[in-house]
Amino acid sequence: MTGAAALRLGAFAGALALAFAGAFAIGSAADPVAAADPAKEQPAMSGMSEDGHETGSAEGHGDSGAQPPGLAVSQSGYTLVPATTFFQPKKQENLKFTIQGPDGKPVTQYTKTHEKDLHLIAVRRDLSGFHHVHPTMDSNGTWSIPFTFTAGGTWRLFADFQPAAHGQTLTLGTDVNVSGLYVPVPVSEPASVFSVDGYDVTLAGNPAAGKESALTFTISKGGQPVKDLQPYLGAFGHLVSLRGGDLAYLHTHPAQEAKAGQKGGPGIEFATTFPTAGTYSLFLDFQHAGKVRTAEFTVHVGATGTPIVPPATLPAETPTPGHETTPHGHS
């Protein structure tokens, strides 16, 4: 190789090295992995105070850019860690998990929210098989509950809690796998009436994306309004809303607080903020005659409002959506 050729080759290699160094510097500054990391702290959409009223905060109430709860397995240094992510269908197993704190150790101290240290929601990814249960914690911070996954497929677990060392409620989510044949259940069409165990539940409201929307559920049985609803988790109703597609989680309670011995109904009103337009599945838990039941609704939420008007008279038999083929669970 001549001296001139060697000189040209050396100059080319030097320019190439500078180009790679510049690209690396730009990529490091942007840190795309960190930017996309859901474990980074994300502001909450909104919360509910212990008396059941929705509260705004510096963490982004009404901030359309904030990530809704339940989409990340880790937030604010707290991580949901299941003991296993593989289960058998229709077989009672011990569902166990821990909440790891910022120090990497299981959290053992919690602040009660809605009368419980922790709420666990399990639902299949097609939004069937809704379960709202309350596991128990041992002295080492391990939560456990006997649980039966009713069908094969991918299930989403949501842990809703407030660590004693943290000032706000967190909702963490993770997927687990249930073996067996997966037969997807289609989401029911929007309807303003749902029937369960002889109860008719009607829904009225005008939900709009990004705004606080009032939703009113009215409960009747045999054509007569139910006026003696019993308190459940400090209220006369408990509402969980899940956004179709990613299962973003909204957890709200009615404005009216309920204490032991009080009677409520037939109407239960909620103030809920749907973060975006889209389809949501709503699960209303209510207690009557000593038993908790769940009414399920599908709601289309538009940018400017989507009126939901119950019928003037209830049909003789309200069709039950397909999701009710898989029973709900409470404990």
Q: What is the pLDDT of residue 254?
A: 78
Contact 271, 240 (CB under 8 A): no
Q: What is the pLDDT of residue 220?
A: 97
In whole angstroms, give the CA distance from residue 331 to residue 325.
20
In whole angstroms, give the CA distance from residue 302 to residue 210.
10
Contact 122, 156 (CB under 8 A): yes
Q: What is the pLDDT of residue 255?
A: 75
Surface-to-core class of residue 59, CB atoms within 10 Å of its CB (0-12 exposed, 13-18 middle, 19+ buried): middle
Centre a 10 Å sphere on the Cβ of residue 325 and count the other Cβ atoms it contains: 13
Contact 269, 216 (CB under 8 A): yes
Phi, psi dihedrals of residue 261, rounded to the nearest 5°: 95, -15
Q: What spatial distance separates the first Cα and last Cα of the chain, rounded to whole Å? A: 81
Domains of the chain, earliest start first: 72-178 (2.60.40.1930), 193-317 (2.60.40.10)
Contact 272, 252 (CB under 8 A): yes
Torsion of CA 319, 321, 325, 328, to 10 degrees: -110
Q: Which residue has the tokens 């053992």?
A: 108
Surface-to-core class of residue 149, CB atoms within 10 Å of its CB (0-12 exposed, 13-18 middle, 19+ buried): buried
Q: Mention every residue, 6+ apart, whose C-beta is less than 8 A from residue 91.
A: 148, 149
Do the bridges between strand 170-178 and strand 86-87 make them parallel or antiparallel, or are there none, so unpaired?
A: parallel
**Mean pLDDT per segment of 10 residues, for the chain of length 331 residues?**
44 39 36 34 38 34 65 97 98 98 98 95 97 97 98 98 96 97 94 97 96 95 96 94 96 81 95 94 97 97 93 64 54 67
Query: Which tokens sit at 136?
Result: 């128990």
Contact 306, 274 (CB under 8 A): no
Q: What is the pLDDT of residue 190?
A: 96
Cα–Cα distances in Å, from 244 out to 62, 142, 217, 290? 20, 31, 21, 32
Q: What is the pLDDT of residue 31?
A: 32
Of 107, 106, 81, which is closest to residue 95 (Cα–Cα)? 81
